[in-house]
């Protein structure tokens, strides 16, 4: 007898905290139990029960080409026949590093790690060493991984819970936190702590506590204050890097950060992170400099080769602008359905990211602007479309991702399923 999702989850609870290996997977935010999946291809997931779902989570962003893209799959199979891990110097990370530094002029050097958290942790270490200062400024709702000093009002899997930080975290006295899109508080924090701030870190496209698209003027103000006070500017582009543009939000905003962190897309679906930036800062890293960072599985050949194959295909087939148009059209059609059925939700998008949230009359740019009833309304919609075979990230505060595998036919069928859900799902 085959196990179903409920049985598997009950078994998982006995051997794994909360039954999951990353909190949002537990479906706790949507007040349910998770579906277990056994297979994925293109735009689809297949559950252990054999039901197929259109997947708009796409592993929370890395799979910009969809699950098991055939061109990337070929590279992965080749790699499996060559090596699984080296722990030595090899040419594959060099090729990816050369591609990135050739395409992005402000990334003069780059080092690969295994996660975005590692990348952020090291970027902050570099900033403190370079400036001989201790304080870091971050923004409420921006998530920079589960590194202790930044797990403060961080969003993501903690969004909507009773507290936006974590038990067991103590070394946060050097972390300054202010709201997004608040120029007055931004100016005040620099007036008070400007000569102590080593770096400001921000998601230039905050996408971990909803999709909080910032005004360009706010980011420009941030850059100006950072420069004038001798602090470093760090862009966390783990989500937006190579997805909104090849040069990420830095390219769109025409702002060159001192340091940038990447992940997700650059690994082609395999575990990867990276930090990069000005050569004088990266040269502070061991073995060349005094800042230590190391990793047994850093620059794993699967992530390096799959990542390069993904990036090259994206550029050669001009995928980013195509996905943006597709996402805009899809979002427009869903908003029309929400209007048609008098549903109190709307969808906002930026590039190939989208966010379904409670209806508002103005852009949502900070977490305090998210309607109080948002979670309840999203949860009902989530379950209504899940029954129809549409898989969204199981949290009202997570964004959705469009992939190259979401063909026009797939999206047309998805809209039909959403209309069916809205027709019978109520408000």
Task: For residues 128 and 134, give the distance between their C-alpha atoms in angstroms, rounded to a whole number.
Answer: 6
Neighbouring residues of 1: CB distance < 8 A, sequence distance ≥ 6: none
275 a catalytic residue: no
Compute the average pLDDT of residues 117-126.
96
Q: What is the mean pLDDT of the chain?
A: 93
Comparing 152 with 406, the larger pLDDT belongs to 406
What's the pLDDT at 242? 98
pLDDT category of residue 414 using cuts at 50, 70 and 90? very high
Query: What pLDDT sits at residue 424?
Result: 83
Q: Which domains does the chain have, with CATH numbers?
A: 5-56+318-425 (3.90.1150.10), 70-316 (3.40.640.10)
Report the pLDDT value the prediction gives residue 227, as an integer from 0 to 100. Answer: 97
> How many CA atoms lie less than 13 Å away from 321 in the CB half-sphere?
5
Residues of the chain with pLDDT > 90, as a percent, come to: 90
Mean pLDDT of 274-292: 97
Which residue from 276, 263, 275 is spatially nearest to 303, judged by alpha carbons?
A: 263
Question: In 3-state terms, what secondary structure has residue 44?
Answer: strand
Please say if the pLDDT value at position 80 is more than 90: yes
Half-sphere exposure (Cβ direction) of 114: Cα atoms closer than 13 Å: 8
**pLDDT of 168-210, one tens digit each?**
555 667 899 999 999 999 999 999 999 999 999 999 999 999 9
pLDDT tens column, 339-355: 999 999 999 999 999 99
Q: Which one of 55, 69, 181, 236 is the catalytic residue?
A: 236
Q: Is 57 a residue whose pLDDT tops 50?
A: yes
* Tens digits of residue pLDDT in 289-338: 999 999 999 999 999 999 999 999 999 999 999 999 999 999 999 999 99
What's the confidence (pLDDT) of residue 3? 82
pLDDT (0 to 100) of residue 51: 98
pLDDT score of 163 = 37
pLDDT at position 164: 42
- Residue 150 — pLDDT band, cuts 50, 70, 90? confident
Percent of the chain with pLDDT over 70: 93
The C-alpha atoms of residue 244 and residue 49 are separated, in whole angstroms, by 35
Reply yes or no on whether the pLDDT at 112 is more than 70.
yes
pLDDT recorded at residue 161: 41
Among 1-10, 19-28, 53-62, 245-254, name the one with the lowest average pLDDT: 1-10
- Rounded to whole angstroms, the Cα distance separating 43 from 26 reads 22
pLDDT reading at 12 higher than 50: yes
Give residue 146's pLDDT band: very low, low, confident or very high (50, 70, 90): confident
Residue 258, pLDDT > 50, answer: yes
Q: Which residue of the set 153, 264, 326, 375 is catalytic? A: 264
Structure confidence at residue 249 as a pLDDT band (50, 70, 90)? very high
Predicted local distance difference test score (pLDDT) of residue 1: 52
Q: Mean per-residue pLDDT for 59-64?
A: 98
pLDDT > 80? residue 166: no
pLDDT digits (tens, 9 = 90+) for 220-246: 999 999 999 999 999 999 999 999 999
Quick check: 165 pLDDT over 60? no
The pLDDT of residue 145 is above 90:
no
Catalytic residue among 143, 262, 275, 391: 143
Residue 36 pLDDT grade (very low, low, confident, very high; cuts 50, 70, 90): very high
Sorted by sequence, the CB contacts under 8 Å of residue 301 that are 6+ apart come out as 79, 82, 83, 84, 85, 86, 90, 92
Pair 426, 341: CB distance under 8 Å: no
Closest CA to 80 of 268, 275, 405, 303: 303
Residue 427 has pLDDT above 50, yes or no: no
């Amino acid at each position: 007898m085959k196990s179903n999702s409920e049985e598997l989850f009950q078994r998982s609870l006995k051997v794994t905290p909360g039954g999951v290996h990353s909190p949002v997977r537990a479906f706790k935010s949507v007040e349910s139990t998770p579906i277990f999946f056994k297979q994925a291809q293109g735009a689809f997931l297949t559950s252990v029960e054999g039901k197929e779902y259109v997947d708009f989570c796409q592993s929370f962003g890395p799979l910009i080409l969809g699950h098991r893209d055939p061109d990337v799959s070929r590279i992965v199979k080749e790699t499996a026949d060559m090596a699984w891990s080296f722990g030595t110097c090899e040419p594959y990370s060099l090729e990816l590093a050369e591609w990135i530094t050739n395409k992005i002029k402000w990334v003069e050097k780059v080092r690969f790690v295994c996660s975005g958290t590692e990348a952020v942790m090291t970027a902050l270490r570099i900033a403190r060493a370079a400036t001989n200062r201790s304080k870091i400024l971050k923004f409420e709702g921006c998530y920079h991984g589960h590194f202790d000093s930044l797990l403060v009002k961080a969003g993501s899997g903690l969004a909507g819970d009773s507290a936006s930080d974590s038990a067991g975290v103590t070394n946060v006295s050097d972390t300054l936190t202010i709201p997004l899109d608040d120029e007055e508080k931004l100016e005040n924090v620099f007036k008070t702590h400007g000569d102590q701030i080593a770096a400001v870190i921000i998601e230039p496209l905050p996408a971990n506590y909803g999709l909080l698209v910032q005004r360009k003027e706010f980011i420009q103000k941030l850059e100006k204050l950072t420069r004038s006070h001798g602090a470093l500017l760090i862009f966390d582009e783990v989500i937006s890097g190579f997805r909104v543009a090849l040069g990420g939000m830095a390219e769109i905003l025409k702002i060159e950060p001192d340091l940038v962190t990447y992940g997700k897309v650059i690994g082609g679906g395999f575990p990867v992170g990276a930090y990069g930036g000005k050569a004088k800062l990266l040269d502070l890293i061991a073995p060349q400099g005094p800042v230590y960072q190391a990793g047994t599985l850093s620059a794993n050949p699967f992530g390096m080769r799959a990542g390069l194959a993904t990036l090259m295909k994206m550029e050669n087939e001009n995928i980013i602008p195509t996905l943006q148009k597709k996402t805009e059209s899809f979002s427009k059609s869903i908003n029309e359905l929400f209007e048609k059925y008098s549903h109190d939700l709307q969808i906002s998008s930026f590039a190939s990211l989208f966010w379904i949230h409670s209806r508002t009359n103005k852009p949502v740019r900070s977490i305090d602007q998210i309607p109080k009833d948002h979670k309840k309304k999203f949860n009902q919609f989530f379950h209504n479309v899940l029954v129809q075979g549409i898989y969204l990230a199981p949290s009202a505060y997570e964004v959705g991702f469009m992939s190259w595998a979401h063909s026009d036919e797939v999206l047309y069928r998805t809209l039909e399923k959403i209309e069916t859900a809205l027709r019978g799902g109520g408000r």
